[in-house]
């Protein structure tokens, strides 16, 4: 099983062709930090603009809208959703280029003691 650092290093080195591949590695990284992660799917009952991922860690929660590139287009509703959720807790648009910022923001997340 890869360590948090190994997953982070892979994310920083990989030139992703698909957003889904980056998202999968991002989920692995969050889980390696002890987070419970939910991947949201667009559909009935899910508000437009809802972030791709939500994560929870010992009383802290956040939302991530995954983008393949830093300048990728934002869909309608995404900007207000991320703004509101960031006011409540933590929310970001994250791409491979901005991953180091996420890594720094979440450096203090910890795994629950077994």
- pLDDT at residue number 108: 84
| Tens digits of residue pLDDT in 53-87 | 999 999 999 999 999 999 999 999 999 999 999 99
| Tens digits of residue pLDDT in 15-66 | 999 999 999 999 999 999 999 999 999 899 998 899 999 999 999 999 999 9
d(CA 12, CA 96): 7
3-state helix, strand, coil in the chain (%, to 5): 35, 20, 45
Give 55-80 as a DSSP string.
EEETTEEEEEEE-SSTTPPPPTTHHH
- In the chain, what percentage of residues exceed pLDDT 90? 82
Give the domains, in start order, of the chain with CATH numbers. Answer: 4-41+49-105 (3.40.1350.10)
Q: Is the sign of the CA dihedral 88, 98, 80, 64 positive or negative?
A: negative
Confidence of residue 97 (pLDDT cuts 50, 70, 90): very high
Going by C-alpha positions, the residue among 111, 112, 63, 104 that lies closest to residue 83 is 63
């Amino acid at each position: 099983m890869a360590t948090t650092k190994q997953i982070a290093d892979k994310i920083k080195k990989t030139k992703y062709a698909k957003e889904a591949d980056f998202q999968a590695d991002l989920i692995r990284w969050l889980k390696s930090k002890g987070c419970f992660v939910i991947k949201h799917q667009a559909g009935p009952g899910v508000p437009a603009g809802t972030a791709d991922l939500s994560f929870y860690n010992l009383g802290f929660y956040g939302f991530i809208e995954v983008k393949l590139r830093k300048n990728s287009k934002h869909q309608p509703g995404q900007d207000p959703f991320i703004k509101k959720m960031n006011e409540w807790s933590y929310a970001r648009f994250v791409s491979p280029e901005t991953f180091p910022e996420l890594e720094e923001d979440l450096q203090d997340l910890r795994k629950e003691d077994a």
